[in-house]
A = this chain, B = another copy of it.
Amino acid sequence: MPKLALAVSGSETLATNLYDRLRADVLAGKLEPGRKLQIEFLCERYSAGQTPVREALNRLTSDGLVERREQRGFAVTPVSRDDLLEITKTRCWLEEVGLRESMAQRTAQWEEELVLAHHRLAKMPRSNSTAGYEENPGWEALHKAFHHALIGACQSRWLIAFCEQLADQLYRYRQLAVHRTYPNRHERGEHQAIVDAVLAGDADEAVRLLNAHYRQTADIILADAQLFG
């Protein structure tokens, strides 16, 4: 009666659990950019030992969300205008490749998944509150899934992983600014237009719209004076 029938394979390890929680806090901006991440502080905050904390930090480093400084610990990766632009630019390049490739390899199944992902996203409210902005985790998950679906038929797990990493980076920037920048956006329409272009088989137009979508996001964040020094 102790262990359950199928141990599946991944009894979640403490380090993994911590990784997830730390990641969420960095992405949500609860651990601010530039902040020093002292082991002891994190041990208290998440009530864990040093080893799993350390391991989680090391994993975060590969996501580019945390920096390691030899012999002087870890810190949340800082943000800057330049980085935002560079990440956005790179994402535009890579997702252009992924989208064109997906469209070149298009299958009925892929199109259906895309339509479905968009439909689900469109139904979900952006904010949990009608008054101001209150994060809706459901929307965020579906939004991520939608953008993933766009490049989902490119047949390269590497490219997809790179795009996801860049998406996470930009998610953090959005979260840092969203309380001041919301609403000011017509995401629904933009997403719809992209899907339309994809279904119409117009790759140039789809790419143009997708890039514009990302550029506009960047512009809105850049306009938030408070975010950067």
The residues of A with any CB-CB pair to B shorter than 8 Å are 9-13, 16, 51, 54-55, 58-59, 61-63, 69-71, 86-87, 89-90, 93-94, 97, 101, 155-159, 162, 166
CB <8 Å contact, A13 and B166: no
Contact B156 A90 (CB under 8 A): yes
Write out the residue numbers on chain B whose beta carbons fall within 8 Å of the beta carbon of A51. 51, 54
Q: Which residue of B lies closest to A62 (CB)?
A: B62
Copies of the polypeptide in the assembly: 2
| B58 adjacent to A11 (CB under 8 Å) | no
User: Contact at A156–B89, with CB atoms within 8 Å?
Assistant: yes
* CB nearest to A158 among chain B residues: B90
Which residues of B have CB within 8 Å of A166? 158
The answer to whether A70 and B156 touch (CB under 8 A), given A58-B55, A62-B59, is no
Q: Is the CB of B59 within 8 A of A12?
A: no
How far apart are the CA atoms of A11 and B13 in the complex, in Å?
Answer: 32
Residue of B nearest to A169 (CB): B158
Please determine whether A70 and B157 come into contact, CB atoms closer than 8 angstroms: no
